[in-house]
Chains A and B, each alone.
Chain A
Amino acid sequence: MRMRTRRETLHRAAGLGAAVLLPSLLRPGAARAQSTEEEDLRDFLEQAIEVEQDSVLAYGTALESPNIDAGVKGTLELLRDQEQAHANAWRSALDSLGFEAPDPPGDPADSEELEGLAELEKSDELLAFLAEYEQTLLARYLDLAPPLESEDLSRTSAEVIASHAQHLVVVRSALGEDPAKVLERVARG
């Protein structure tokens, strides 16, 4: 799919300008409140996009390794695609607000979160990194999502958080960890 450019978004918004302007003048307090809400949403979405894009790169880097176990490649591809679906959803939401999304990192070295990933070689090391990253990602979402004012974004966040919890189970299981122990780990956070 093709994202609208910022220019197109602004152009589209300009057509609504008069209709938007009048209520803003009549209700300055409400207009400020709406602006603050949009900025809060933007802050959430930018952070969510960054962690999801990092995650896509992390899975992609693991998949490119010649040492990754062939038996888990299909699983990792599925999880990577789901991370991309999360990123896409957040990017589209941010675009709807008229803000530009952060660029995806092209290399693990471009992201602090992925520090050290490029140096890992063994399959278990790569999987352990992905598991730790999923745990970190869950913690970030659990910190960012509760204050959201948007009910719909809160609902979507719950769906994405649930997805990452499942990813954590899948990756830990690929490492051969006992299922009950994995659940304990998830519960501890």
Chain B
Amino acid sequence: MPRLTRRRLLAAGGAGAAASALAACGTSEPESERSAEGDAGLLADAALAEKGLQASAETASGKLEGEEAALAAAIAGSSTSRAAAVSDLLEAAGGEEPGVGGSGGDTLAAVADAAAGSITAYREAAALLSTPELREAILEHVTQTAAELATVRGLIGEEPSPFAFVTGGSEEPYEDTDFDPTEDS
């Protein structure tokens, strides 16, 4: 199955991504990008992104005060656990530990940016890791990180859940709420 870019999924319109992806599955060679050899690279990307979030949240927790500091500290703690878990998976996959990510700033906005970066890496890993066990572990990290992103956004006055499809990237996913399931079908 070919890799579908977000742009290609979006270009198809309609209720978008999932349908386009399946249509492509049916008309293309069944060539999977999943392989045990690719796991280390995906996990290294995820580990690097998670360490960036960890560093950013730790820095912010030391600079901020009150509720903001408490939230940053909570995220730093969770991120540390996730980074360790991903590192264990990376080691088991035969990959090398990436360097420590930069803090990226000392504000909650910087923490939000780092969380979005982690979601981007986890999203790709959730699609392409070679075993259901690895994908399950990564999906749990996606869950936590997306919740953290929403919490931070809420605290800094942004819409906590702006999109129906959370990519972690800057590209706005397709959103169509006009579909009426009771229409002739």
A142 near B: Cβ within 8 Å? yes
Chain A positions within 8 Å of B148 at CB level: 183
* Alpha-carbon distance A161/B168, docked complex (angstroms): 13
CB proximity of A105 to chain B, nearest CB, Å: 10
Among A53, A145, A165, max chain B CB count under 10 A is at A165
- The answer, yes or no, to whether B14 is at the interface (CB within 8 Å) is yes
Do residues A146 and B67 form an inter-chain contact, with CB atoms below 8 A? no
Residue B160 is within 8 A (CB to CB) of chain A in the complex: yes
* Chain B residues numbered 4-27 whose CB sits less than 8 Å from any CB in chain A: 4, 9, 14-19, 21-26
A179 to chain B, nearest CB (A): 5
Task: Please tell me if the beta carbons of A88 and B139 are within 8 angstroms of each other in the complex.
Answer: no
B53: CB under 8 A from chain A?
no
- The interface size bin for chain B is 35 or more
The residue in B1, B19, B143, B184 that gathers the most chain A C-beta atoms within 10 A of its C-beta is B143
> Does B144 lie within 8 Å of A186, measured CB to CB?
yes
- Contact residue among A92, A155, A186 (Cβ-Cβ distance under 8 Å from B147): A186
Per-residue CB proximity of B24-36 to A under 8 Å, as 1/0?
1110001011100
Contact between B164 and A153 (Cβ–Cβ < 8 Å)?
Answer: no
Whether A155 lies near B124 (C-beta < 8 A) is: yes
CB-contact partner of A5 in B21, B133, B159, B185, under 8 A:
B185
Q: Which of A34, A85, A150 has the most CB of B within 10 A?
A: A85
What's the least CB distance linking B179 to chain A, in Å?
Answer: 4
- Least CB distance from A5 to B in Å reads 6
Given contacts A163-B163, A165-B143, contact A2 B34 (CB under 8 A): no
Main SS class of interface, B: helix
Contact with B along A153-182 (1 / 0, CB 8 A): 111111111110111111001000001101
Task: Report whether A91 and B181 are in contact in the complex, using a CB–CB cutoff of 8 Å.
Answer: yes
Q: How far is the CA of A23 from the CA of B178 in the complex (A)?
A: 39
Q: Which of A114-157 contact B (CB under 8 A)?
A: 138, 141-142, 145-147, 150-157
Chain B residues with CB under 8 Å of A160's CB are 164-165
In which size bucket is the chain A interface? 35 or more
- Which residue in A89, A97, A161 is a CB contact (below 8 Å) of B139? A161
A146 interface neighbour in B139, B151, B175, Cβ under 8 Å: B139
The reply to whether B25 and A150 contact each other, CB–CB distance below 8 Å, is yes
* Contacting pair A179 B154 (CB below 8 A): yes
Q: Which 7 A-B pairs have the closest CB atoms?
A: A152-B21, A92-B19, A162-B146, A162-B166, A155-B127, A88-B15, A85-B164
Can you sample 22 A-B contacts with CB below 8 Å?
Answer: A1-B176, A2-B184, A78-B161, A81-B177, A87-B181, A89-B16, A93-B22, A101-B185, A141-B139, A147-B132, A151-B34, A153-B18, A155-B21, A158-B138, A160-B164, A162-B142, A163-B166, A173-B151, A179-B154, A180-B70, A183-B78, A183-B144
Known: A89-B17, A152-B127. 16 other contacts (CB 8 A): A3-B185, A78-B161, A88-B181, A90-B18, A92-B18, A96-B26, A158-B126, A159-B165, A159-B167, A165-B144, A166-B161, A169-B150, A173-B160, A183-B74, A187-B144, A189-B140
